[in-house]
Structure 1
Amino acid sequence: MTLTVGQAFDRVFGPEAPVRVVAWDGSEGGSPDGLVLRLTGPEALNHILTAPGDLGLARAYLLGDLVIDGIDEADPYEVLRVIGDGLTPRRPTRHDTVELARFLAHHRPHPPALPAEETPSQLRRMAQGLRHGKARDAAAISHHYDVSNAFYELVLGPSMTYTCACFPTDESSLEEAQAYKYDLVAKKLGLRPGMRLLDVGCGWGGMVRHAVKHYGVTALGVTLSREQATWAQAAIEADGIGDRAEVRHGDYRDVTERGFDAISSIGLTEHIGVGNYPAYFRFLRERLRDEGRLLNHCITRPDNRHAGLPPRGFINRYVFPDGELTGSGDIVRIMEDEGFEVRHHENLREHYARTCAAWNANLAKNWEECVELAGLGTARVWGLYLAGSRLGFERNGIQLHQVLASRTSTEGVSGFPLRPRFEPADG
């Protein structure tokens, strides 16, 4: 006789696990007072067995095969925290191993049907293209960023800024923190009136518009998302700065202009592939004048031992296809190998946890409208993604680094004062 689902759960995670599994076969496992996970049918178990970890659980949840009592679909942070803290497999005894083998033989895994959000046609097309080639990168960016501008307006707020904010105080709002982040980048780059700024991976043009309006520069932004470029250019025209600001729809590798005084790269490096970092930083250095500065702002791993491995599971399948991360040490090393002089290096990990929490709050506040715009499945994906990312930043599973460097001249002139001040004046 094989184990019930509840018995199998107890063999793997223990009856003291802070969740309670209620299965379709009438069995239960885990703590009687724990978070209740309901497996509505055999397909729920099949998802968990065929993709252990967050991917299988996410598939079952998105398809309705896993129902979690009391979950906030827009902000499932508490549920993810409990599952992450409590579902740690125990070391099985020999007897447990034999019984679990019989259980698996009885519930033989088979290829499951996948949620529609995991298999859009553009991702199938991507699989046929060269990884990090221009066509495949464009498809990956479109998958994530071309959901709809209206959806992003609801989640991101008025700043339309989809990168880590920097909170000057515990009481600062998301909008204040995003403006502060742009000021911080501008100060690090030493922006002054008359300078030329290139912003690669510019999103909806937040840095471009901020730098032009508040620092008097002329700025060019580039994004692979047509939706972003259209929104950004309209905002530029509405601000009356079209003579000094442009957001261009295209690949950063197609920028031909040179001699920029400064380059900001805020949230692009995650998309280009670690193997392409040397060519990427070489390209940016060639676009700078001597003494020009580069600010590279991106998500990183907390170590440098897993360079080039794409994010596994849920994030790679549902959120950032072809995304790759490495540690900040690798980034600094490659920047230096490509001729940059690194001048400053800062980790904003805790700030990104707060940013994700604020986006989750916006999603929750505007849940019905977000579902109407993007569909329930996509809205649920975003709830999982933002809450999971918040946990990752809080637990130091991922980090956010800003690395500031200069194209120091052959005479050794960096363009930096002896003691530069980077913090905005009110910081």
Structure 2
Amino acid sequence: MKICLFWHRRDLRIYDNAGLAAALASGLPVVPLFIYDQDILDYLPDKADARLTYIFDEVERLAKATKAAGGTFLARYGKPLEVLRALVQEFEVAAVHTNEDYEPYATQRDTAVGQILQAHGVDFLLYKDQVIFAKDDIMTKSGTVPKVFGAYYKSYVAKLTDEDLHPYDSADRFISKNLHLITPEKAGPRPTLASMGFERKEQYVPTSDLPAEDVVRNYHKTRNTPALQNGTTRISVQLRFGTLSVRQVMHQAKALNPKLLAEIIWRDFFMMLLWHYPNTATEAYDPKMRQVPYRNNEDEFLAWCEGRTGYPLVDAGMRELNQTGYLPNRVRMTVAGFLVKHLFIDWRWGEKYFADKLLDYELANNVGNWQWMAGTGAVSAPWFRVYSPESQLAQVDPEMKYVKRWVPEVGTPAYPTPIVEHKFARERAVEAIRAARITA
């Protein structure tokens, strides 16, 4: 029997799933598939990874839901090209459906997958799902890539319609007549964390539900107050792994809070930029910023990583990140700015550390924001802007409730003195960058 595969990636849900809906409407029986990508997992720094634990649990949830609906869910561990080559030889696969991914590795992988499937006579069909607008959907009037968020935002909102946010009917179509049932012997066992060489690591992740309406309505008032437990939506992990639909999230934000809507649009903006400029994953977009003589002091970097800089808001943020895998956005800005300007350490060091620690790590957002803070990106804060961590503390945590939660020794002899003086650090960074830009 001819079947089609639906390859889950950054869309670990059944409802409102563009690619899954198309596969289920294709007329061919569908087998959902997840590949634990060895090309990615081999680079994880720790064998106990909370993100992989989260993915594993969500894949198992999908497998149970597929079984309950009368189908079979396949899960494999290995390199995607090898796994798919084996599957199209083992089963009569007519097509593979999946949703687009815009990161450099993903686009290279999908090009290679498409070639392999084509050689076997298998269609490879991709759909837009994790964003509303992507690639060339929004361009300037002159046909160039938009690099100013304000103009991009205006074009985005003007283009956005209710149809763009209408949910796909994948959940309604997810029934036995559209799914394919495979015998256990043929399906084989699904990988376990242990069989892949990993261990469980539990870290708190909110449920994959829309945030409460009162949180959304007050978002613009509370988003920069890290001491509040519900000051932000806390849905970044769910958007990253697709356990929550971006269309559903944006529909709520569009109705209730324009500031939250803008923040979600930033996500599309950074993905669009990374797709157009994949080299920015590893180097500054601005050529004049590629020769900045960063100090890269390893002892100071370690102090930053461990939250021992003597600046309370910076230290609180890094300790929260290390313990929970989460970091409020305003605090992310503060710790990032401190690393690249006060300690004058290459933004890529910070980007890599966040990549290792953040539960919601997403390459486009992370690179985009780090280059924004460093003044090196396609869209960026001015390179000569240096935020004062003391002023940031006074603005976002004046009573130090957040700081004292994570740095209980603050204000005692046990707390270190500042690792560097603000005025001195600012002048050092600005003068070094200015000189590098002149000679670039």
Place the TM-score, normalised by the shorter chain, in its bin. Answer: under 0.3
TM-score by length of 1: 0.27
Select the structure that is richer in strand: 1
